[in-house]
Structure formats: C-alpha cells, structure tokens
A = this chain, B = another copy of it.
Amino acid sequence: MADEKGPGHSRRRERSRQAIFAATRDLVAEGPYEKVTVEAIAARAGVGKQTIYRRWPSKSSVVFAALLALSEEADGQPPALPDTGDLRADLSLVMRATVEEFADPSFDRLIRALTTEIANDAALAAEYREKLARPLAEAKEARLRSAQEAGQLDADADLGLVLEVLYAPLFQRWLHRSGPLSAAYADSLVDAALRAFGPRAGVKPPAGRTAG
C-alpha cells in the first residue's frame, strides 16, 4: 500500500511512526499519565495531531502501539523462547529477563499506564491479548510443549495453567509492589511450576492413568 506513493513516502511514514512512538514513551516515562495527551505526543514528535488520529483512535491505542513497537524493535522476529533441552535453565533465563524488564523504570511506567487502561477498557484488553499477550503465550507454550513431549512436564499438565503459575505471581507482585523482583524470586517461581507440573515420578498416578 505505502509503496504506491513511492519509497520516499514509505520512509517518511516510518520515520514519523518511530518519532510518535519515541515521543509517547518519553512522555509516559516523564508522567503523570493523565498529562499525556495526543496533542502533547504530536508536539513532541513534531507531527500534526491528525497524523496520529489518522492511525490511532485514542491516546490508549497509541500508547499500546508504542509498547508493541518496543517488542518488535527488539528482534523483528515472532517471539520464541530458548530451547536448549534444559527446561529449568531455559525458564530461569526467561523469567529472570522478565523480572529485569518489569524492574526497569521506563518500562514500568509504560506497562503500568497500559494496565490501567486495560483494566477499564474491554476492547483494549482484547487488543492487548490478541497482539501482545497471545503471541507471547504461544511462544511460551511451544517451549512447554516441547518439554512435555520430552517427558519433562506431566503429560496431563494444562500448559496455560503452567504459564499462569509462572507469570501471574510476578505480575501481581509488580503491580501491587508487594515484594522484591529479583533473580531469586524468578527462580522460586520456576521451581514451584516444575514441582507442580513436572513428571510425577514416585507419586502415585491418578487411577486409570498409565505411564506416559
């Protein structure tokens, strides 16, 4: 589509998109969130506010797009988890990285603002699930499925529930600021999930179930 107007247009469009996202992230990081407006974003990015409204209907949707772009920029690939064959090591790596991300002040502000919007906006919550949470969850589930096939997780384990047990405590601790976000904490969640959903060696299997 953009190419119909030539490569120059496409480049300018991408440049303005990046300027809008950078301005949004800066303004959110500076806070308070109520003071972040589409007008302020446009002024900071050096574009007209219609340039923003043509592509995003509201402040919350441009904030969300700016967050989304952050994970795109990181690698440009669909997300995937490391798979060295050592489930504990791979999960520990990923959980420690997630803990670090949440402990980063500028990410903290952005995701806190978005969490606020999502809690009260069912449409944005759906977009968040579709564009960010679900692709990430699928990448994580793929790693867990490979572990399950290798017999490192119980054959009956609900992989969605495994992810909830891994990530929800971290998310809640961050949201409520109710405890330290440390590498040791990340590892304690990995331990808990592996004990809850690991193969039940030495534990009496449920009636009627044969060894998988």
Binding site for B on A (CB under 8 A): 32-33, 112-113, 115-116, 118-120, 122, 125, 128-129, 133, 158, 160-161, 164-165, 167-169, 171-173, 175-179, 188-189, 192-193, 195-197, 201-204
Contact = CB atoms under 8 A, between A and B. Distances in A.
A209 to B, nearest CB: 12
Interface pairs A-B: 8 shortest CB-CB: A202-B202, A164-B169, A196-B196, A168-B168, A168-B172, A168-B169, A192-B196, A195-B196
Q: How many copies does the complex hold?
A: 2
A204 B202 CA distance: 8
B188 A158 contact: yes
Contacts of A167: 172
Contact of A172 (B122, B164, B192, B195): B164
A189 to B, nearest CB: 8
A133 B178 contact: yes
Interface of A: prevailing SS: helix
A207 to B, nearest CB: 13
Nearest to A112: B119
Given A112-B120, A168-B169, 8 more contacts: A113-B120, A118-B176, A119-B119, A133-B176, A161-B169, A168-B171, A195-B197, A202-B204
Given A161-B192, A204-B202, A178 B129 contact: yes
Contacts of A116: 116, 119-120
A179 B160 contact: yes
A119 B201 contact: no
A189 B113 CA distance: 29
User: Most B CB atoms within 10 A — which of A116, A164, A193, A197?
Assistant: A164
B161 A119 contact: no
A172 to B, nearest CB: 4
